[in-house]
Structure 1
Amino acid sequence: MSIDPSSIPNFGGKPDNEPPAGPPGGGVIRPDQEIVKQLLDQMELKHVVDDEGDLAAPWETFRTYFMFRGEDEQEVYAVRTFYDRTYPLDEKPKLLEVIDGWNRQTLWPKVYTHTQEDGAVRLIGEAQMLLGLGVGLEHFVSSTVSWVRASIDFDKWVIDQLGLEKDAESGSAGPGESDGGPEQA
């Protein structure tokens, strides 16, 4: 099964005039990693499969993973973004206040903190979809595209909320330098 290019939401780019490649109306599918790879290719996003078999799209300051988990590895589809920027443990209360604001204002990704053994705090964003007996192709595609877009938007938003744009503007080696585009190999 291939992705219908017309089902990929247009976020201001030129419309894609390619004829539909999938079933009429999108159809109900049982998504898998190959379908996500096709979608990422059509979105022109670099992607890799890691050592654990998970599909990831790397950016300069974060990585977004597309994972299937549960019974038969197909019960839940999760898009999880690991942001590389670290924060000191004593800034965690302020960080929680900021991400609570994001979580109240938006539907996805829901963002939470992870404290590493060395005391560094990182942010993780996540959205999930129950697959059940299948999902509509258009719903799957638009959700995945929206979740990727929101992951990029969150990175920009948290930079603004925490005043990290100064680091990005100064050209420092700090983590706020990403333009949101996929990292180039």
Structure 2
Amino acid sequence: MSGQNRQSWLQRVLGGLPKPTKRPPADTQEPTPVTRDRVGDYLLTKGYRFVVDEDGDLTGTWDGSRFWFLLLGDHAEIVQIRGRWHRQLPLEQRAAVGLALNDWNRERIWPKAYVREEEGMLALYSEVSADFEPGATDAQLEQILACGLGTGVQLFAALEATLPSGGPAPEVPDN
């Protein structure tokens, strides 16, 4: 560290220089409650096609895989983007699936990846969740929705390249 930098640093620590001013946040919108309509509006602005299922959840397909946009919690304050890979795998591939998902979860934060046994086959899921109890700005909501959908599609593309073909694709209703 040069003498000039050391002196500036020392002056700042000892109070000899003014504190840096805080910049106002770029997004000055006040957080508002997350609603199904707000999620739907985001999807519409992106030109995405989706439907409302029998449970009242927004759902659609991206690259052949089904995604749901869920509002969970006592006050619908938790946003969850859950994806289900379009393929199912035989139970005999559980070890390979476990290794692939373990590798994914170890190397990445999003999405959480897991496997469930459904009707004698393995179904693979992606999940991104965020608690917006105090509400969310449009930018915050858009960021988590894009993250959940984008990283879910990335996970499923990686699985296509990693896991051998086998097993029938599940029936996924069209939009």
Instruction: Please tell me the TM-score bracket, short chain as reference.
Output: 0.7 to 0.9
After TM superposition, give the deviation of residue 144 of structure 1 in Å: 0.9
User: Who is 2:35 aligned against?
Assistant: 32
Q: CA deviation at 1:163?
A: 4.6
Give 1:43 shift: 1.1
Deviation at 1:141, TM superposition (A): 0.8
Number of the residue aligned with 1:20 = none
Residue 57 of structure 1 is matched in structure 2 by: 60
Written as runs of structure 1 = structure 2, the 5 A alignment for 1:7-18 is none
In the alignment, what sits opposite 1:70? Answer: 73
- The alpha carbon displacement at 1:41 in A equals 0.7
Listed as ranges, the gaps of 5+ residues in structure 2 are 1-26
Q: Which residue of 2 aligns with 1:109?
A: 111
SS in 2 for 1:128: strand
- Give TM-score scaled by structure 1 length: 0.71
1:11-59 deviation line (CA, Å, top 9, x unaligned) = xxxxxxxxxxxxx634312111101111101111101000111111223
Deviations 1:100-135 (A, max 9, x none): 11111111110100101x310010111111111212
Following TM superposition, the consecutive aligned residue runs of length 4 or more in structure 1 with deviations greater than 2 angstroms are 24-27
2:144 aligns with 143
Alignment length (residue pairs): 145
1:92 match: 94
User: 2:111·2:128 contact (CA, 8 Å) conserved in 1?
Assistant: yes
Other structure's SS at 2:67 match:
strand
Shift of 1:137: 2.5
Measure how far apart 1:60 and its partner are: 5.0
- Distance (Å, rounded) in 2 between the aligned partners of 1:99 and 1:51: 30
Residue 161 in structure 1 maps to residue 162 in structure 2: yes
1-structure distance, mates of 2:57, 2:153: 20
Bigger-Rg structure (1/2): 2
TM, length-normalised to structure 2: 0.75
- Aligned partner letter, 1:145: A
Q: Label 1:184 to 1:75 Cα distance change in 2 as closer, same or farther (>3 A).
A: closer
Match of 1:48 in 2: 51
Deviations 1:113-168, CA, capped at 9 Å, x for gaps: 0101x31001011111111121232122112112111111111111111255xx9x
